[in-house]
Structures are given as structure tokens and as C-alpha cells.
Structure 1
Amino acid sequence: MIRQFKSRAVQEDERKPMRKTSWRIVGALAGLIWLILQAGSAAPVPEMKPLGSVGQTPFVEGIDIPRTKPRSEPELEPEHQDRAGPQPKNSQARGSCVIPGALFEDREPFSGDRANSPAQDEDKGCGIAEPVGMIGVRQGSVEVVFPGPVLLSCDFSKVVADWLLLDVLPAADSLLGTQPVRVGSGPGYQCRRRNNQPDGKLSEHALGKAIDISGFEFQDGSRISIDEDWGRQGAKGRFLKRIHTAACERFTTVLGPEADPNHKSHFHLDIGCHGRDCTYIICQ
């Protein structure tokens, strides 16, 4: 019995170094894991920056005077004159914007000033979250284009496309017996305040929600100028009256030659919010 007790004691003594080694390994692993966790928690985490607001200030009723008047005679820019014409991108657009029947180019979201569009430093609300360069519309074999891509918001472009396709084209066919091929217009987006004042509400142009239309050129070579043909007797005058009335059914603001002298030469169209519930319509 004494010999057996000593043998077990000897065996226990032999196991002690092994246990110490095991505990050292466990301790080293625990230390390594702690160092890894500390390093991960100390690494800088990029701060999430939300997309800046492109302006949600309601448009105040009144006159929105454009900085630059639209062209009175719609002409294609040289880059658009000698090409076959763009393809509709309503089902092939790279972005999420879909505009049935429209010809347009996808643009990157932006805020603030753009080239050739002076802006004040405080006009940080300017910009478009989902902009497009609207080229025109196409219906069957009829293609109607602007002088160049007009920078607008996706939502507003849909309203403009509907007006051209569903109102302007049928009116031209029934009253003039021809179809428009070009639309005279301003650039659309302009980072500025209403009436070009240094303070006050942002213009709807600063949000890509407004456009100025000055006239049309048709397949038969004839032209209609809002400046020259508004209020005249005959087919041209009736055509302008009809599309103006139709515009009041689609846009929230329609200002024409009878609104004030500043709009004698064009239609100002926008979808700004009027009234507390944005249901008030300005049609002049």
C-alpha cells in the first residue's frame, strides 16, 4: 500500500509541469484575443453622411422671373444637328428614373451651383437628387427635341413628357395638320432665388422643377413663337391657347403672356407647392 501511494504521488508530480504549460498556452491565447479585440475597437469608423437636402421649401405664389430668357427661335445645338438621334431610355436607363416616351440622359445627383449658373453661397438648397438631361420625346415616328439636354428632376420630366405627348402633339395635329420637331426652351435648372433676388424663397428652377417654353418648330418648316403669336386669331393662336389650358391641368404653376410683362415671351411651367396642402393652382 505504501509503495502504491508513492507511485501515485510521483505520477502527480510528473503531471504538474504539463498543467503549468497548458495554463500558459491558454493565458497566451486569451491575451492575443484581447489584443485583437482592442485593435478592432480602436480602428476609426467612417462617419455616415446623409445626402444634403435639395430643398423642400414651398414655392410662394408670385412671379418667377428667369435670369436668362429662353430662345425665341428653337434651334438645335451643333452637337445635336448631325446625329441620328438618341434612343428612348425609359426601359434601359442606368438609374431608377423611368419616363415613358422620353429621350433623356442619366445624370449624377448634385447640389449647389452648376457651370454658367451663378449662385449665392447661401443657396445650399439648390440641387437635384435624381436629375436627368431631358432631350425630348418620341411617339411613333415623331420625335420632338429641345435645343439641348434640359437639366430637370426625374419627376418633373415625367410631367413635361406627358404634356408634350398627350397635349401638344394632338393639338398640333388637329389644329395645324403638322407635328412639332423642336421646342424652344431655357436650360431648366438654375441655382437662384425667385426674381433673382439675393434673399427669399428658392426658385423652382433651383430644384429642377421648372422649365420655360418659348416656341415650336414644325415638320413643315413653320414656327410658332409665344412672343409673336400669343393672342392672335387663327390656328397658331388657338394652338397656344389650347396647350396653355392643358398645361394648367398638369402643372401647379403656368405663367404666360397674360400673367405679366416678364412672361410675355414664354410659358413658365413648374410643379411647386402652393397652399398648405399643395393643391392650389396658379394658371395665368
Structure 2
Amino acid sequence: MRAVRFIRTLLVLTVIAYGGVLLYGYMRAHPQDLPWIPLDLTQPVGAFTGRKLAGIDAKGCRALLDQAGVRFAAQPPRGSGQCVFRGGVALRSGRALEIDYAPRGLATSCPVAAALALWEWHVVQPAALKHFGKKVARIDHLGSYNCRRIYGQSEGAWSEHATANAVDVAGFRLEGGQRISVLNDWDGTPAERAFLRDVRSGACDLFATVLSPDYNAAHRDHLHLDQAARGEMGWRGCR
């Protein structure tokens, strides 16, 4: 009996040791999936990337953009009270980024800008190549900073737009000129439908909140992307 127990114990310890080796190897190969590894925009999107994006401060965020080769213009503070917008940036195409934004001069909080960069690299461009064989040259937007409450109500919670911690994306312009619009093409051709749903779903790994026409009529013409503070805790909204 002792010999049997010894063999069983030895087998259990062997399995545990083997599992530990596999886990260590995975951790070495996938640092982006570990919650304690600092965010690096040059690495693939991992299990905790969204949480890390929502939790970075403006100074650290700008350093990460610099490190990743992203061109941006720092924005001066604006607003007051519940609508103070500080530490914002405006992304500029060139070097690491290929996509322009229209209208020009889109300024957002830095965590939103960092997520937009990752969205371009890992979601938008791969989806465009998959469904159309072309890259996206421009993203059309409906703005970011807007001192208002949710849905423009006179009372209630303040919108993430009130601090430029959100952006509304209306459509995409491919190389060559083809435009894919959220309003007109959400139920368009199979390729248009698949592309818009891919970029929506992929954004859910990077933003705290992603709202589309599937959510309600107020979002029939855009994708709402924000970095609400709850995202740092892993509480995400995606529809």
C-alpha cells in the first residue's frame, strides 16, 4: 500500500511540475496576458490590455505613444467643473499610424487615443484587408469632447464625452475612396456587415464601453467608444 501511495504521490507531483513548466513557458511567450506586466503598445493585445488602457494616466500614456512611434499633438486644458479636459492628445497619421481622422483635429483623452492606435493596428486594418482587400485610409467621426450628460439629458450622469474620454465613429474610408458608413451599411452587403461587426467586436477588447446600432436607436449612425473608469476593474459594456 505504501508503494502505491508513493507512486500516486509521485505522479501527482509530476503532473503539477509539468503544468508549472507549461504555465511558465506560456507566461514567457505571452507577457501581454499577465496583469502585472506594464502596458506596452508595441505588444499584441492581451487579456488585460483593456484594463491597463483604462487605468493609465496622461503622462504615462504619452510616454507609451512615444515608445510605439505614434505621432500626436498634446492638447491644452479646457473646460471647467464636470467638463474639465486635461492631458488630451490629437493623433497624427505618419510613422506608426496610417489612418487620418475627419474632421481633422480630433482630440481625445490619451487612453482613448492609445486604444484607437491599437484598434487601427490589430482590428480595423486586418478587418479591412480581410473583407475588402484594402486598408482604411480615414475614419469619419462625430467628435469627442462635448460638455453634456448622457444622451444630452438635463439631469443624470455625465457622459464620458464631457471629458473627451469617448469618441463616436461614423464610418470608414478605404484606400481608393469606398466609404463604409455605420448608418447606411450596418445592414449593407455581406462584406460591409461583417466588417462593421468585426471592428465593433474587436473594439470591445480595448475600450471600456462599445455601443453600436445593436444597442439602441441613438447609436444607429455611429460606434460609441469610451474608456470609463470601470474598465480598469474589468467591467465592460459591449453591444
Tell me which interval the TM-score lies in, with the shorter structure as reference length.
0.5 to 0.7
Q: Does 1:130 align with 2:87?
A: yes
Q: How do 1:35-46 residues align onto structure 2 when only pairs under 5 Å count? A: none
Q: How do 1:249-264 residues align onto structure 2 when only pairs under 5 Å count? A: 249-264=205-220
Partner of 2:62: helix, strand, or coil? coil
Q: How do 1:1-284 residues align onto structure 2 when only pairs under 5 Å count? A: 97-98=62-63, 99=65, 100-112=68-80, 124-136=81-93, 138-139=95-96, 143-147=98-102, 148-274=104-230, 278-284=233-239
TM-score (norm 2): 0.67
Amino acid at match of 2:82: G
How far apart in 2 are the matches of 1:173 and 1:218?
10
Measured against aligned partners, the alpha-carbon deviations of 1:3-42 in whole angstroms (never above 9, x if no partner) come to xxxxxxxxxxxxxxxxxxxxxxxxxxxxxxxxxxxxxxxx
> Kindly tell me: are residues 134 and 186 of structure 1, through their superposed partners in 2, closer, same or farther at Cα, counting changes over 3 Å?
farther
How far apart in 2 are the matches of 1:198 and 1:161?
33
> Kindly tell me: are residues 126 and 234 of structure 1, through their superposed partners in 2, closer, same or farther at Cα, counting changes over 3 Å?
same
Residue in structure 1 matched with residue 56 of structure 2 by the alignment: none
How far apart in 2 are the matches of 1:183 and 1:137?
15
Partner of 1:149: helix, strand, or coil? coil
How far apart in 2 are the matches of 1:278 and 1:146?
30
Aligned partners of 1:252 and 1:271 also within 8 Å: yes
Deviation (angstroms), 1:138 = 5.0
How far apart in 2 are the matches of 1:166 and 1:101?
16
Partner of 1:150: helix, strand, or coil? coil
How far apart in 2 are the matches of 1:163 and 1:256?
16
TM-score (norm 1): 0.57
Measured against aligned partners, the alpha-carbon deviations of 1:77-127 in whole angstroms (never above 9, x if no partner) come to xxxxxxxxxxxxxxxxx9982323533211123332xxxxxxxxxxx1212
Structure 2 residue ranges without an equivalent (≥5): 1-58
> Kindly tell me: are residues 243 and 96 of structure 1, through their superposed partners in 2, closer, same or farther at Cα, counting changes over 3 Å?
closer
Amino acid at match of 1:280: W
> Kindly tell me: are residues 231 and 163 of structure 1, through their superposed partners in 2, closer, same or farther at Cα, counting changes over 3 Å?
same
> Kindly tell me: are residues 110 and 138 of structure 1, through their superposed partners in 2, closer, same or farther at Cα, counting changes over 3 Å?
same
More helix by share: 2
How far apart in 2 are the matches of 1:246 and 1:273?
19
Identify which range, 261-270 or 155-164, moves more after superposition.
Answer: 155-164
Aligned residues: percent identity? 31
- Alignment length, in residue pairs? 177
Cα root mean square deviation, aligned: 2.3
Amino acid at match of 2:99: V
Q: Which structure would you say has the larger Rg?
A: 1
Deviation (angstroms), 1:232 = 3.2
